[in-house]
A and B are shown apart, each in its own frame.
Chain A
Amino acid sequence: MTGDRIALLDVGHGNGTVLHIGDQVCVIDAGPGTTLLEYIQENSLPSIDLVILSHADQDHIGGLIGLLVAGNIPIKRVLLNTNSEKESKVWAGLVHELSVHWQNKGLQFDVGLTAQDSPITIGSATLEILSPSPGLAAMGAGSLTSEGRRITSNTISVVIRVIYDGQPVTLLTGDMDGIALDELLSRNVPATTSLLVFPHHGGASGPRSAAFATKLLRATKPDAVVFSVGRGRFGNPKKQIVEAVRASNANIRVICTQLNEECASTLPKERPTHLTSLVAHGRERNRCCAGTVVLKLGQGGGLFPRETPHREFIRLRVPSAMCQ
């Protein structure tokens, strides 16, 4: 696949997004495992201009350690939010490796990314940093809001809206939670988008998760929602979230990278034919639903895998699909 595009990689449970805009390459979040490494190898990318890590969870950063250590692709700059509250071992590993590259290989890395740093330019595209606000980031994980709600590393996860040809094409939400959403809405920040990557892999639980999804969908008004999930990990996306997403818009396209067990208790025997040809974590064991998802930008663009063959796969192979 060529041309300007956004690849939402099937990394299993986690997020990994690659933006190709002109000759610029930007990675936003780097889920663990080898999918990102394989994607870069497969696409013969000569270098990565920018890596942005939304927050410090392993399912968003593990792949960058692999990328740095593999050492076969130069990375020019890394922007990351600090928070080692939950992930000290992975965080320590990443900081170690970033320091080695900073000292020996001229890597530029900046710590602390907030809405104040917006916008960032990648070729002809613009990345708007919608959240966290500097104030929210400054409070830090572990503290309480004025309403007594606990701020976690998810609260200060970076939320990025990609603007292409003047249009908001994708909203990458990391693990954004209800506090961050409320704070963002209180600032009247425009957050509409055509494609929403749902926060926290659709894994928010508890009585308010459906309300969170409804509020988010009302603010973002997407045509399609992607859940980046790993089969067998946490049972994501949760049913009440998918229901809230579908209730927000009867025509919305719901896309999961891998098959949720509730949708299909057993894996299809047959090799799927609807997937893109790109690397996908779930491909080898037939765990993919949509696998790696690509949004082609500009003329002749669109979302891949295409909706009709994907729906046909779901109809034939996913007996209890939540999205149907």
Chain B
Amino acid sequence: MVQVHGSAIERVSVIDDDPGSRELYSLYVEELSMQALRENGPFTSVEACVERVLGAAHAAISDFKLKVKTYASFNGAELVASLYDKKLPSILCTRFEFADLDEIRPYRQRIPALLRPDELDVDTIAHAFESCALEFRNEFVQTRKPWKTLIRIEDIHADPGREAAVDVCLPSWNRNVMVKLQRSELPEWMHAKLVADAHFYAVVNIGAERPEDLYFSKWSES
């Protein structure tokens, strides 16, 4: 059984619209000698789901795409972030595509563990729950620790019919990877200043290895 700082995680809610995936994730959980609570839904609000999980489990694993077949009215990123606010260790598990990142990124700071299904195993589940518990005590693993850093605007996208977005480069992280951020994710005061080569500061977990793991907060002028 996974112990997180002295407290045993005995029951884990498994939230996925696909019964097959629900079963698979549950088997991993049971391999760790924890009870898997297979959540069958449907959930009409994220609040209702949070209430259900908090009342039944010590931790949760959720898929990202939950809106299929009216299983839920919200996505897994919203749910895991809400559970984070309630200090419940949670994992977002998804076979995400890059388009999904636009929906996940705004919640990323409150999602300590984002795993692909093929990354999910006994060790990663235990490690992810431990990382969550650390963050609840304001301690961070290397990949999640927030640092103020320099951000450079590389490109602006303003395609008709699509939400405006910017490509940013984090020189102290990885020069080769551009990170796309929706304009709506940025504070309003920045919108008029979004031009190529402009520099800003933000608090980012620059110890992260993958672009999908980065979160951005506390933007300021450079």
Contacts and interface: CB of A to CB of B under 8 A. Distances in A.
Interface of A: 32-34, 37-38, 58, 62-66, 69-71, 87, 89-90, 92-94, 96-97, 100, 281, 283-284
A90 B147 contact: no
Given A34-B206, A100-B222, A69 B142 contact: no
Interface string B163-182: 00000010111110000000
A32 B174 contact: yes
Contact of B148 (A71, A281, A283): A71
Interface of B: 141-143, 145, 147-150, 152, 154, 169, 171-175, 197, 199, 201, 206-207, 222
A38 B171 contact: no
B148 A69 contact: yes
B147 A65 contact: no
A92 B152 contact: yes
Contact of A34 (B142, B154, B197, B199): B142
A63 B142 contact: no
B150 A97 contact: yes
B123 to A, nearest CB: 8
Contact of A69 (B145, B169, B174, B201): B201
A38 B142 contact: yes
B172 A69 contact: yes
Nearest to B178: A89
A34 B145 contact: yes
B141 A66 contact: no
A89 B173 contact: no
A94 B199 CA distance: 11
A93 B199 contact: yes
Residue in A37, A69, A284 with the greatest tally of chain B CB atoms within 10 Å: A69
A90 B175 CA distance: 6
9 contacts: A34-B142, A58-B175, A62-B171, A64-B172, A66-B206, A69-B172, A70-B148, A92-B152, A96-B152
A63 B172 CA distance: 6
Q: Binding site of A, secondary structure by majority: helix, strand, loop or mixed?
A: helix
Given A65-B172, A66-B149, A92-B171, 10 more contacts: A38-B142, A38-B145, A62-B173, A63-B172, A65-B171, A66-B147, A69-B172, A93-B169, A94-B171, A97-B150
Contact of A32 (B145, B150, B173, B222): B173
A33 B173 contact: yes
A284 B199 contact: no
B172 A62 contact: yes
Contacts of A284: 141-143
A65 B149 CA distance: 8
Contacts of A38: 142, 145
Nearest to A96: B199
B171 A89 contact: yes
Most buried by B among A33, A92, A100: A33
Contacts of B173: 32-33, 62
A68 B172 CA distance: 10
A103 B64 CA distance: 47
Contacts of A87: 175
A33 B207 CA distance: 6
A281 B141 CA distance: 11
A97 B150 CA distance: 8
A94 B150 CA distance: 9
A87 B141 CA distance: 29
Nearest to A59: B175
Contacts of A65: 149-150, 171-172
A66 B152 CA distance: 13
B145 A93 contact: no
